[in-house]
Amino acid sequence: MPPHSRSFRLSRRRFLQLSTATASAVALANCQRSSSNSTGIGSSTEPLHIYTWADYADTEVFDRFTQTTGIPLEVQTYDSNEMMLAKMQAGGGQQFSILYPSDYMVQQMVELGLLAQIDQARLTGLDDLRDPWQSPTYDPNNTHSIPLSWGTTGLIYDTTRLITPPTDWTYLWEQQDVLTGRMTLLDDLRETLGATLASLGFSYNATDPQEIEAAFERLRELKPAIAQFSSFGWEDQLIAGDFDLCMTYSHLGNALPAEHPNLRYVIPASGSSLWTDTMVIPQGAPNPEAAYAWLNFMLEPENAAFAVERLRFATPSQSAFERLPMELQESETLFPPESVLANCEGIAPLDAATADLFDRYWTELTSA
């Protein structure tokens, strides 16, 4: 069993199920620790408020930051970019100092005027980012965001239960009878409708109403077999054998098999989404000093490598990559080869009419 695996169960899954209570406990514990840390900053230090993905909430990473800087943390979590955006549009920018939007959501939030510009003079380590993240298309020159992680979306399955292993999205329809009631898809309209579009040979970012309708109809055919639309919280049921296959992001796809060898993650052969999750500072954020301390902490290669080993996401930092154990550097599901990445595509923002169409179809699928 990898050394991180027991803590993975205690930290990540508890955040998935008990995020509010756990975040409060983390904040309290960090406040207590900060009163005696080596920086001399006392427990009255203003906390850093973070709003992050549910499966990025790791107590050991948070503890490391507090022990290094003396700054306590208060953490809340979300399950989708859209959930985070809704909170920001309701005034959440006054509540949080660090957010974790994905690439396409950065573009949308910039257009809505929700993000502060990054003062890059206050940061170190940007020159260590690999070329695709030096000036990414979703945020040229990293003006409003700092890349934290990247990965793919695919399928994780139980090798002891599925005789024929999945290799592509079409497997879901071909094996629908076998999978009925034993599979989950992401509660993420862009990912799940995007994967269905890909299964039909279309782009994840299709804007043709006929292509989108075809994906909706195809997904509606599959719905009776779907146990639930769920981005997080299905892990225990997959481990227990209640589910055979789940659609997931690659960091969970890599972390769970490290602990449970009967599980395997596969990137669909016809293509998948290629995502980047970022760190941003919202407009009107409290405690910007602590926000920049967090950005610098996560840009430091040793800390970035530590986060990779804890959370199993891919890092855009070259120096952090070089610090990883060889087994992680050579993992083709964690750091896919170019031949695999060539079939993947990033999720792009949609125009208003197409977004409304996606929303209407998704609401019909998930509420019926």
Q: What is residue 5's predicted lDDT score, i.e. its pLDDT?
A: 28
Q: What is residue 32's predicted lDDT score, i.e. its pLDDT?
A: 37
Burial tier of 160 (Cβ tally within 10 Å: 0-12, 13-18, 19+):
exposed
- Summarised one tens digit per residue, pLDDT across range 125-135 is 999 999 999 99
DSSP code per residue over 62-114: HHHHHHHH---EEEEEESSHHHHHHHHHTTGGGT-SEE--BHHHHHHHHHTT-
d(Cα 315, Cα 338) in Å, to the nearest integer?
16
- Summarised one tens digit per residue, pLDDT across range 65-94 is 999 999 999 999 998 899 999 999 998 778
What lies within 8 Å, CB to CB, of 250 at 6+ separation is 151, 152, 153, 154, 265, 267, 312, 313, 314, 333, 334
Q: What is residue 93's predicted lDDT score, i.e. its pLDDT?
A: 78
Could you give the 3-state DSSP secondary structure of residue 123? coil
Q: With a cut of 70, which residues of the chain have pLDDT below it?
A: 1-44, 368
Closest CA to 309 of 255, 232, 265, 261: 255
DSSP code per residue over 151-182: EEEEEEEETTT-SS---STTHHHHTHHHHTTS
d(Cα 28, Cα 43) in Å, to the nearest integer?
10
Q: What is residue 2's predicted lDDT score, i.e. its pLDDT?
A: 30
- Summarised one tens digit per residue, pLDDT across range 25-69 is 344 444 433 333 333 333 348 999 999 998 898 999 999 999 999
| Greatest distance between any 2 Cα atoms in the chain | 62
Q: What is residue 222's predicted lDDT score, i.e. its pLDDT?
A: 98
Closest CA to 100 of 81, 120, 72: 81
Q: What is residue 23's predicted lDDT score, i.e. its pLDDT?
A: 43
Query: Are 352 and 212 within 8 A, CB to CB?
Result: no
